[in-house]
Structure 1
Amino acid sequence: MNTQSNKTFSILMLLAGTLLVGFSMGRWLAPLAAWIGPVLILRYARDRKGWRGYPFVIAAYILAFLIGFGANWASQFPLQVVPIIAVFYGFLWSLPYLADRLVGARLKGFSSTLTYPLAATTIEFINNHINPVGAWGMTGFTQYGNLPLMQLASVTGMIGITFLMGWFASAVNWAWENQTHGTKMLKELGVFGTVFAAVFIFGFLRLNFVPANEETVRVAGITAWLLSDTQEPLQDIEPIWDAFFSETVREAQAGAKVIIWHEGVGAGTDSEVASLIARAQDVARQNGIYLAIPLAVTYPDTERPRENKLLVIDPTGAIMMEHVKYGGNIFEGTLLGDGNLQTVETPFGVLSGVICWDADFPTVIQQTGQKGVGLLLVPSGDWLEINPIHSHMAVFRAIENGMSLVRQVYGGLSIAGDPYGRVLAQTDFFGSTDRTMVAQIPVRHVATIYTAFGRWFEWICLFGFLLLVAYVVVRALNARRRSTDLTL
């Protein structure tokens, strides 16, 4: 193949990789494409000399972001902001390729394959700790539905999936470059193959050795239409509240022990919401249920910020938990919660609750595992462009922390899942007329390595990447010093 043909083939790989990555993230779900896309983009980057290919890798990921997330952001933010966000994420996601070029190319043998995955995990580690939108864009979300692989989150958190997928891309390219070495290449490639197989075997075993006949509790999630026939918000909230209480009583009489409403139902002034709370306490007491009601409280004629919070009321009518939303406040302009998760002890297990965007912050949700939570309630409000990805994202929090999860959504997919990520019930807001979701939920907390040791794997990846960088830098400095000595 001549030089021009090589260049054309390389560009085609970049384009194919870009499309595969773009159509595997955000509003799209194509788990296999998310494995193949980075393989092709990495091949392109390694075929370019020096820095020549890196600007095109940035451009590729900007395009991939727009394919996967462009509509999501454009539906909620000014159109001129979307390209800025795309450039930010495009540059962020391209950095592992730059690290592979600057660090990996200077390492010998199969160990060089670790540079790209360690760089990818390091970028996600930093992004998760400083990004105000939370974990949006993490590689692991592309693997929703791949249940054996998803179990890795119970050991390493989602970062483990990022590492494995990155290592796959790097290992395939290494094999491509060393195919003439035959047996030696296959032997070293077997290291990755062994880890890859172990991950899927672990996932298979974890899914198939779930304790039988686990105790469950009936949980009902209630969602109602809040728009008029002209698609404007309903002005009179009282009939909506009446409908919610009527449905709550119906589900309680059908056997539900825990009932959750979607985010935004309890919207009103502080005096209006006070009457709603009193009524909810009466309903919970009369029906012997745990009732989770989200509130959006405004305080007229004061400078006090609006509060987006969740109350959990027990069967005696007492308010056992009051959680203030902390995720997304920079965009919503509401009171910022402290991120300290509360729990409720019940006869059937430990409950906790957060609101919508809160679940996108794994560093905070990790508290649920530490506190032995068996059921996390997540009242939420989404919109068409992030449906169903936002609910899929929350399922990973359940696997990481060994708990069941009920995410009741207005404007999206309501979902109930167990500690293994298996869907127990789901209702699509846009495809259903009866939007009430009911499921028998296991409430026993499942211990996980992630719960016991926290973000251990992320720190190992961070230090591993820093060690590789330090090794390459020290070796380069030593080589320069020796070269200088020889010229003297």
Structure 2
Amino acid sequence: MQRSLIHRLTQPTTTISVLLLVLGAIGILLSSPKWLVPVAPWLSPAFFLCYVQYTTLRRKWLWLFVAIVPASAVATLDVMPFPWFVLVFVVLLDGLKNIVLYGIHRWLTRNQQQFIWTLVFPSLWTVREFVETQGDIGTFASVANTQYSFSWLIQLASVTGIWGITFLLYWFAAVLVWAIGKYAARQPFARGLLVYGSTLAVVLSFGIYRYYSNETASAKTLTVGGVTVPNLHVLERLYTDATGKSVQIDPKASPASAVLQEANRGLIAFIEDPAPARFQLGYQAIQQQQDSLFSLSERAVARGANLVLWSEGSALLPKSGEPALIQRGQAFARRYRVYLLMAMGTILPGKLTSDRLFLENKTVLVDPGGRVINTFYKNHPVPMVERSLPGDGRVPAIQTPYGTIAPSICYDAEHIGTMRQLGWKNIGLLLLPSGDWYGIAPYHSYMAVFRAVENGCSLARQVSGGLSIFTDYRGNVLASNDFFSGNDRLTVVNMPVANVPTLYTRFGDWLAWLCVSLLVVFTGKALFDRINRDRTMHRHRTDKSLTDDELRTVSVPKQNL
């Protein structure tokens, strides 16, 4: 019965082909940050690959596209902060990329039965992710992010970066489909499974060792107080001032939602002319916001915080109001003898145009003596959404009595090239004020944990609209606080401040480049085989002395491991 089932997969009927597509599409849905089931990303590509390798369905590439695109659209809705027409374009483009990768894999591995060719599939997807991370999207779409709950596996990122996790996941699909084909053909496949199983066992053994070995047990610690005060009421008051109408924003609304787009009318009017006479309710809300931030910061200090961290853009205000806020922060830090990292969104007033950057998304760090010791601008504003002045690309290393700390902001953590500075500069604690929304929480917070594992540092990610999370260099969660849980959005946690050197910091994206090299070799081998086979066929047509046995020797690859 088992062999009959395997034969159905390798010689699928229309029903089996459709079933493979449906299962693959369900896997896409269950890989979404909204409904994540961590095993789904391991299985979904296996279903699609089995379909591509074995089905004889007419227009099979079209049907593959039809299966992938709608599932991806549903999975991405409310996750990407883009208008619907941009989302449609992104999903269609992503679907085409998927089809191209499956097509390249089919072309490269046609008639290739050796186990070594299972490396093609994971190499293709690893290289694709590697190329995409060089652009604005960063690591946001990496499948490795879906494995954040597998603590032993994510330790691999300290050696290979996220590429090792991506590679293992897609290699699993390739090995599974390869083994199914071998089993159906009554050919040996145990050695191949042993190779993959042994590799995975080594990776997990390393992960277990690293996860349960605490190399920062004797490190200096810093008590961090994370503070979040929602600022949606500021947008609501600005809207009322600008339009004379009221609006109520659901805290779970996505950035592309109709209610937030409507509320932005008030913000746009405020950006173009923030006259106090016109925006009386707005300025009152801004002042209340700041009062609440300092009140909650005082509570953090009372609970023992040596450093107070605000979430991204906590203080939204025009440029003219910035000096007073900074002076208040300096007085606070001086009075309580603490570090204060104020995260603010400073508006640069003026007429809005399609290319004008009107926001400074930044942090200001004040030391216990009341001195401003660092002003940091977000290095990587969210593309097509955030029109803020970018930073200089550097991550500052700030020396304190507790160890070396560094600020960055939210989306910066999706850019591994920038974040590798954490390891190079021996940063012990990354302060990452962030702003999320319901559709990507808590997924987006756990994505940042990979940067801590890769670069051997602790992470304090205080978040508005998501999960605030505090981890050590292993990704071990020391404390967390869900924005939507109804708590007071204050977290105080004792954190180690020490850097643990990693191979990834030293050697970087070596595995991604190895995958590039493998694809070059496999492509060369496939081209050589095809040229050789074409020449042999030509000789067969022109030289009748070549026997059928000789032709088959060249045309059919060896079936061994």
Same fold at TM > 0.5: yes
1:340 to 379, 386, 394: 394
Kindly tell me: are residues 344 and 51 of structure 1, through their superposed partners in 2, closer, same or farther at Cα, counting changes over 3 Å?
Answer: farther
Q: Which amino acid aligns with 1:286?
A: R
Q: Distance in 1 between matches of 2:495 and 2:94?
A: 37
2:420 match: secondary structure: helix
Find the counterpart in structure 2 of residue 415 from structure 1: 469
1:8 to 15, 24, 29: 15
Residue 414 of structure 1 and its aligned partner are, at CA, apart by 1.0
Range with bigger deviation, 156-165 or 475-484: 475-484
Find the counterpart in structure 1 of residue 545 from structure 2: none
Does residue 91 of structure 2 align to residue 91 of structure 1? no
Find the counterpart in structure 1 of residue 257 from structure 2: none
Does residue 285 of structure 2 align to residue 243 of structure 1? no
Does residue 375 of structure 2 align to residue 322 of structure 1? yes
Residues 203-251 of structure 1 show CA distances to partners (whole Å, capped at 9, x for unaligned) of 1111112234544221111011323496368722112212211222232
Show the 5 A alignment for 1:139-218. Answer: 139-179=143-183, 184-211=188-215, 212=217, 214-218=219-223
Q: Distance in 1 between matches of 2:541 and 2:407?
A: 68
Residues 381-400 of structure 1 show CA distances to partners (whole Å, capped at 9, x for unaligned) of 11111211111211111111
Q: Which amino acid aligns with 2:201?
A: A
Kindly tell me: are residues 256 and 11 of structure 1, through their superposed partners in 2, closer, same or farther at Cα, counting changes over 3 Å?
Answer: same
Residue 10 of structure 1 and its aligned partner are, at CA, apart by 2.2
Find the counterpart in structure 1 of residue 453 from structure 2: 399
Q: Distance in 1 between matches of 2:97 and 2:341?
A: 38
Kindly tell me: are residues 349 and 272 of structure 1, through their superposed partners in 2, closer, same or farther at Cα, counting changes over 3 Å?
Answer: same
1:107 match: secondary structure: coil
- Runs of 4+ aligned residues of structure 1 deviating over 6 Å after TM superposition are 1-5
Find the counterpart in structure 1 of residue 47 from structure 2: 40
Find the counterpart in structure 2 of residue 378 from structure 1: 432
- Contact 2:12 2:55 survives alignment (8 Å): no
Q: Which has the higher contact order (CA 8 A, sep 6+)?
A: 2
Residues 427-484 of structure 1 show CA distances to partners (whole Å, capped at 9, x for unaligned) of 1111123111121111111111111111111111112112211221233223334444
Does residue 273 of structure 2 align to residue 219 of structure 1? no
Does residue 485 of structure 2 align to residue 431 of structure 1? yes
Q: Distance in 1 between matches of 2:57 and 2:379?
A: 44
Q: Distance in 2 between matches of 1:435 and 1:207?
A: 28
The Cα RMSD (Å) is 2.3
Range with bigger deviation, 1-10 or 397-406: 1-10
Find the counterpart in structure 1 of residue 273 from structure 2: none
Q: Which amino acid aligns with 2:18?
A: I
Matched-pair identity in %: 34
- Contact 1:342 1:353 survives alignment (8 Å): yes
- Contact 1:253 1:287 survives alignment (8 Å): no
Does residue 468 of structure 2 align to residue 464 of structure 1? no
Show the 5 A alignment for 1:65-144. Answer: 65-73=72-80, 76-130=81-135, 132-144=136-148
Does residue 236 of structure 2 align to residue 231 of structure 1? no
Q: Distance in 2 between matches of 1:242 and 1:435?
A: 15
Find the counterpart in structure 2 of residue 441 from structure 1: 495
Does residue 345 of structure 2 align to residue 292 of structure 1? no
Residues 308-331 of structure 1 show CA distances to partners (whole Å, capped at 9, x for unaligned) of 111222222222222211321542
1:224 match: secondary structure: coil
Residue 276 of structure 1 and its aligned partner are, at CA, apart by 0.6
Residue 71 of structure 1 and its aligned partner are, at CA, apart by 2.5
Kindly tell me: are residues 62 and 407 of structure 1, through their superposed partners in 2, closer, same or farther at Cα, counting changes over 3 Å?
Answer: same
1:20 to 27, 45, 55: 27
Residue 295 of structure 1 and its aligned partner are, at CA, apart by 1.9
- Contact 2:395 2:406 survives alignment (8 Å): yes
Kindly tell me: are residues 246 and 21 of structure 1, through their superposed partners in 2, closer, same or farther at Cα, counting changes over 3 Å?
Answer: same
- Contact 1:99 1:116 survives alignment (8 Å): no
Q: Which amino acid aligns with 1:231?
A: Q
Kindly tell me: are residues 95 and 311 of structure 1, through their superposed partners in 2, closer, same or farther at Cα, counting changes over 3 Å?
Answer: farther
Q: Which amino acid aligns with 1:17?
A: G
Show the 5 A alignment for 1:249-288. Answer: 249-288=298-337
Q: Which amino acid aligns with 1:166?
A: Y
Q: Which amino acid aligns with 2:83?
A: P
Does residue 359 of structure 2 align to residue 306 of structure 1? yes
May I ask how many residue pairs the two structures share in their alignment?
Answer: 485
Residues 108-152 of structure 1 show CA distances to partners (whole Å, capped at 9, x for unaligned) of 41011011000010110111112x232222110111211011111
2:232 match: secondary structure: coil
Q: Distance in 2 between matches of 1:478 and 1:285?
A: 78
Q: Distance in 2 between matches of 1:385 and 1:115?
A: 34
1:44 match: secondary structure: helix
1:72 match: secondary structure: coil
1:315 match: secondary structure: coil
- Contact 1:106 1:472 survives alignment (8 Å): no
Q: Distance in 2 between matches of 1:111 and 1:450?
A: 26
1:134 match: secondary structure: coil
Residue 170 of structure 1 and its aligned partner are, at CA, apart by 0.4
Segments of 5+ residues of structure 1 without an aligned counterpart are none
Q: Which amino acid aligns with 2:326?
A: I
Q: Distance in 2 between matches of 1:181 and 1:60?
A: 28
Residue 301 of structure 1 and its aligned partner are, at CA, apart by 4.5
Range with bigger deviation, 220-229 or 288-297: 220-229
Q: Distance in 2 between matches of 1:313 and 1:105?
A: 62
Q: Distance in 2 between matches of 1:340 and 1:155?
A: 23
Q: Distance in 2 between matches of 1:277 and 1:253?
A: 21
Segments of 5+ residues of structure 2 without an aligned counterpart are 237-246, 250-262, 264-280, 543-561
Q: Distance in 2 between matches of 1:483 and 1:278?
A: 82
Q: Distance in 2 between matches of 1:89 and 1:26?
A: 17
Residue 292 of structure 1 and its aligned partner are, at CA, apart by 1.0
Find the counterpart in structure 1 of residue 406 from structure 2: 352
Range with bigger deviation, 91-100 or 2-11: 2-11
- Contact 1:153 1:400 survives alignment (8 Å): yes
2:492 match: secondary structure: strand
Q: Which amino acid aligns with 1:467?
A: V
Kindly tell me: are residues 34 and 304 of structure 1, through their superposed partners in 2, closer, same or farther at Cα, counting changes over 3 Å?
Answer: closer
Q: Distance in 2 between matches of 1:5 and 1:77?
A: 39
Residue 9 of structure 1 and its aligned partner are, at CA, apart by 1.3
Residue 50 of structure 1 and its aligned partner are, at CA, apart by 9.8
Residue 25 of structure 1 and its aligned partner are, at CA, apart by 2.5
- Contact 1:323 1:337 survives alignment (8 Å): yes
